Chain A
Amino acid sequence: MTADAATVRAAVDAAYRDEWGQVVAVLIGLTRDWDLAEDCAQEAFATALTAWRRDGVPDRPGAWLTTTARRRATDRLRRDAAGRAKLRQLAVLAREPDESAAEEIPDERLRLIFTCCHPALPFEARVALTLRTLAGLSTAEIARAFLTAETTMAQRIVRAKRKIADAGIPYRVPPAELLPERLASVLAVLYLIFNEGYGEHDASRALTAEAIHLARVLARLLPDEPEPRGLLALMLLHEARRATRVDDGVLVPLERQDRSRWDRALIDEGVAVLDDALALRRGGPYQVQAAIAACHATAPGPEGTDWPQIAALYAELARLAPSPVVELNRAVAVAMADGIPAGLALVDELTASGRLDGYHLLPATRADLLRRDGHTAEARAAYEEALRLAPSEPDRRYLTGRLNAL
């Protein structure tokens, strides 16, 4: 039963996306050797290209790949004395895997993701390691995404793997008492990956797609935890609006985005996932942020938006995860719900506190509120200040447009 090249290529690509992390996770579980696990996974996918053409695509590509990678690992370890000694310790690996057996390999990715995101690793290394070992991105791809030299990124990953081995970071899902703290680290890593992709103004969806994929896996593997679903919902609701965020290199604010171009299927899914999370009745910052995103995504337009609800949600978020940026967003919602003077008063408080000094969205927000309230001269000064602080070209183009329209 042979298969044509295009079918096999597509099947291997799909398996790479869906199974890479699992194959690597199983191999690390068996050998505790991260490099060996990655090399053998790589070889298994390469072998699949020829084997699947000859024999057809297997019914369970993941099981085929895992078995093949496992055989590779055994072969490689047999080559030298140290490897043979290790094989004797790893009795489970030495046992010949039975392809035909219906034995389901449990999903090992949870152990892998918690290890990659261990707080004893530097945050940047957690992000890189997660993208490398779970999502299967190459070091070059990760380096490009984070505008880092490939050698720097490679070194970061090597050091992280070395620390896992040398410091004895356990390869496991943390016990219940550590889960909240450790899960927060995993969620922060996935959200950073998403935001890194979301900030891209070109058409590349790679990082947002990887983050959503990993969040789906996490949400499925931790069905009793509401926050992974909250994060997944938040990502889906943001992703739905992505195409309308920038127009011709100029940032488009929410109220001016073309809502007919928002992705309805993603919004519906995001809302459904959020409902599942909320049904668990344990709130958290990602669920609140997703609820805010859902208010925007399901509103018919800026006027039909439930601003009092959004203001209340920001107040809740400020309580769960206090930050001056959250306060700034709350000020905007309050301005929309209770009138511009109420919002401006909150912005002025923030300005006086100095906690957002140098952050361009502080004067930009103030400028927008002043403009709407008819204070043109003050608005102009605030836009000019924001323009001086704005970090990116789309931001500057947007602010220049506003300034010229005054």
Chain B
Amino acid sequence: MSNTTHTATERASDDIKGDEPLSLDELYRESSHHQVNLGAKKIHAKRMPGKFRAFKWKVASLYLFYFIGPFIRWEGGQAILFDIQNRKYHIFGLTLWPQDIWILALALLTFFLSLYVVTAVAGRLFCGTFCWQTVWVDVYTWIEEKMEGSPAQRRALDSAPWDARKLAIKGGKTLIFLLIGVATGVTFTSYFVDVFDLWHRYFSLQGPIEIWVAPLPFIVGTYLGVGIMREQFCFWLCPYARIQGSMQDADTIIPTYDMKRGEPRGRLNKGDCIDCHLCVGVCPTGVDIREGMQEGCIMCALCIDACNSVMKKVNKPAGLIRYASLKEMLGQPVVPLYKRPRVIIYALLIASTLIGIVWGLTHLGTVELNVIHERQPLYVTLSDGSIQNKYTLKIINKGDRPLSIKIALSELPGAVLVDHDAAVHVEPGKVLPLNVIVHVPKALVKKDAMKVEFHILDSATGAFITETESRFIGPG
């Protein structure tokens, strides 16, 4: 290719729009731009319609719930609110206290296990479709295409000298990127402060300082991580990309180039691959899928869309690049899902964490009792020889009604509760610390530590509410 034609090619490709069907010649002309990502040049991926493209948008649209979330109301308050100041976490009708944090831990465990099982079944499906980095990059590059044009036009703009037009486009783009960052950060913050109160505070320039600081990492993070670094983030910063290899096996279906069909690649009807580089051109991380599985591939399957469109054009069957497992490619028998130990073990683990969560949520209760035994002294001998132990009872009323309760003892023979006949009142949402003294006659103190159970009863009906076990300490 001579120098003159090369320039002509570039000019011609400037006019090519992403969603218009291309002729084969145009494909090859454009292919000079489709380069594998080596980190040196910015990736400007081509956008093409297709099955996986549509799926990607559908999954991405789930993030609308993230932005709408804070505005959902429930029983007069915000449906999802992590009220750090009052240490209460509202999720619709449910109120979680810091004590219930283990349920959150199980929920996180479930998410991680889901990630593992998805990876074992279909590779980095999460990375390619649902990861916020991928989704935000997708939206940012969509905006970029609307403002700067096709990949070729963007490349041209990048290398063009700074003039008023470039400044306007780049400045406008940066502003929109920052605004999305602000929306992301403010939305995140509004899961911790009631959203209407938050906006009121923003517009009236009120404190606390936290609400001004909290969105900053998101603004900086989205601008640097999504606006600038993009796929470099996946390459160099994301730990998940590093551990994916150990979560996949020969049965995992991943976007794969069918080498037997494709090779030898070339323009003149050798293998099925016509070497148009379109799969590289559409790749948001700039990898060449024909090299096989690699760390840069986030498995968004956009190359499958691209390749299928080309196969259709050259009248060959679709699926030169397709979701397939290594075993399928090697012609080995494919093991069904339910016979794969990895999938079975992950499923069992997920089932157990889910059971834990369900058990936790159904056994939250509205009253919690913690018993703290006095440490200094552990016990006291009284004038009549009996042994006295002191406890601090922390009664937590997680309900929304005031509580009136009585305390009772069990499991400890001879135990006398001193001065606790009167009913105790616990206001809703409060923790009441209560000093409790227990006597046991010396003759009945047979061991240095004996079991004792504190019960909380309804003061009016005497109905059992909750119990906590502790120890009664004596000289033994």
Partners in one complex: no
Query: B-contacting residues of A (Cβ < 8 Å)?
Result: none
